[in-house]
A = this chain, B = another copy of it.
Amino acid sequence: MDAPRAERTDLLPVPDGKSGCPINLTVELLGDRWSLVVLRDVMFGDHRHFRELLTHSLEGIASNILAARLAKLVDAGLLTRHDDPSHRQKIEYRLTEAAIQLVPVLVQLGTWGARWLPTSPELAIRAQLLGQGGPEMAERFMDELRAMHLAGRPARPDGVLAELTRAYQRAAGIA
């Protein structure tokens, strides 16, 4: 069980396949098919319960995968679990500050996807609006998410989230 490799000393091949690079650690945590999609649905769709995420999601995540992702995100400190007064078995998942600070990441991902990938127009609208809104709009959105998920206040009808949702519904032709 000796280690005959690693002759170089400058650029180190890290033994256990990990590295302290910020991009690498973030990709290690969120770089899979579903983690960011789940967070997207919590943020933009305001889906906070298991069934809601399971059935209202556009892409159709499997229930075991969703359960595993939620557990991982809770473990990573991006979501917190809360009892729901309306049903003893119901669990509410809320965003943490760490998750809310992922908004700029999602905005950039959405902006890039809307620019370079074959997105459907009605879904791309939210990404375009947020991207055009710049850091100020992202800041407003993050403050709104803080009010909703950290302070427990309801979504305000004149907020960014409502504006995005209305733009989407208008584009999707919902009468």
A: residues with CB less than 8 A from B are: 8, 10-14, 17-29, 31-33, 36-37, 40, 55-60, 77, 98, 101-102, 104-106, 108-120, 123-124, 127, 174
List of B residues within 8 angstroms of A101 by Cβ: 112, 115-116
In the docked arrangement, what's the CA distance between A81 and B77, Å?
41
Whether B59 lies near A40 (C-beta < 8 A) is no
CB A63 to nearest CB in B, in angstroms, measures 13
Are A26 and B102 closer than 8 Å at their CB atoms? no
A-B contact pairs, 15 of them (CB 8 A): A8-B55, A11-B56, A12-B58, A13-B57, A13-B58, A22-B112, A24-B37, A24-B113, A25-B117, A27-B37, A29-B117, A77-B116, A101-B112, A101-B116, A105-B105
User: How many angstroms from the CA of A55 to the CA of B56 in the assembled complex?
Assistant: 44
Cβ-neighbour of A22 out of B12, B20, B104, B113 (below 8 A)? B113
